[in-house]
A and B are shown apart, each in its own frame.
Chain A
Amino acid sequence: MVRYLRYLLPLAVFLLLAAFLWRGLALNPHDVPSPLVNKPAPQFDLPLLADPNVHVKRDDMLGQVWLLNVWASWCVSCRQEHPVLMRLARQNIVPIFGLNYKDTREEGINWLNDFGDPYVASGFDANGRVGVDYGVYGVPETYVIDKQGVIRYKHTGPVSDEALMTTIVPLVKELNG
């Protein structure tokens, strides 16, 4: 047994290392786990993109499961994601609240007019302060927030149909009970 150990041990170490490295290859280095998941969504109080006189707060959204989608007119990936959100909005499964991130009011509004508006409303976060509170680092980002205002999931990058069907929609349904 001991005789075999000297051959088996290095082999075992090699296999372990190879398994870790193989796993590492499949990880996306841009995917930074958010510390905010399962924590209360940060408070905000923002003017609407469509109307600077109307403000919306985080607590206005309490009592329902909702998506917070961070977007901007300058964001190329948002364009790729946009049709997916439009389809989701039409299905009336979950309200999508937009966070218009570091944009100008005019360009933001034009973007929605040109491509369609999947949002129940969009808050206007011109200086990106709310974005920082939510740990936004790459637009688009999507948060699933439950009835108590707790972030339950964060998706970084454009939401695909697949991500919707396999993760986001099932989670929304589960949270809605």
Chain B
Amino acid sequence: MKRYLIALLLCVPLVGQAKEATYENGNPEMYQRVMAISGELRCLVCQGQSLADSHSEFAVDMRNQIQEMMEEGKSDREVVDFLVERYGETIRYRPSLNSTTVLLWFGPGLLLVVGIGALYINVRRRKKAVLNQPLSAEDQRRAEAMLEQKSGDKQA
């Protein structure tokens, strides 16, 4: 019992830390919008985190900036465009489709199609090669023996 109690107590501080990035001010709806858009944007100073995930000063500033622009009545699109203009396409996790990102978007799909195509051609060619291969006399005899044995089993 005591052990469980200690284990329970050990969990307490972790619950506090697992809280999401702080909700400063504004209404909950606004907060949802800010967080939704922040989740789509890369935190440039912290590798592998979005602006919504990070507690870094940069991310907090950016979230404040986004919230302010939304309170001014800017659309999500306008906010993203504003940030892309200043920080570049890199800030978006899903960059817009243009000549430099086309390979990024379709490269993996293209590779998959090429791979499946190569596999298909290979399998067909191999099948043909196998079918065209005549059985040797030894193999023929063994195959017949097996077939005979099998039909013999059934009759028994």
Contacts and interface: CB of A to CB of B under 8 A. Distances in A.
**Chain A interface size, under 10 / 10 to 19 / 20 to 34 / 35 or more:** 10 to 19
Contacts, number: 35
A135 interface: yes
Contacts of B61: 128, 132
A133 interface: yes
A137 B88 contact: no
B86 interface: yes
Contact of B65 (A30, A33, A132): A132
Contact of A35 (B47, B58, B65, B84): B84
B88 A135 contact: yes
Interface residues of B, number: 14
B50 to A, nearest CB: 14
Interface in B43-69: 44-45, 47, 58, 61, 65
Main SS of the interface on chain A?
A: loop
Given A132-B65, A137-B58, A35 B45 contact: no
Interface in B84-103: 84-91
Interface string A125-164: 0001000111101100000000000000000000000000
A36 B47 contact: no
A159 to B, nearest CB: 19
Nearest to A133: B86
A36 B45 contact: no
The 6 closest A-B pairs by CB, nearest first: A135-B86, A35-B88, A137-B44, A32-B90, A135-B87, A32-B44
18 contacts: A29-B47, A30-B44, A30-B45, A32-B91, A33-B88, A35-B84, A35-B85, A35-B88, A132-B65, A132-B86, A133-B86, A134-B86, A135-B87, A135-B88, A137-B44, A137-B87, A138-B44, A138-B45
Interface of B: 44-45, 47, 58, 61, 65, 84-91
Interface of A: 29-30, 32-36, 128, 132-135, 137-138
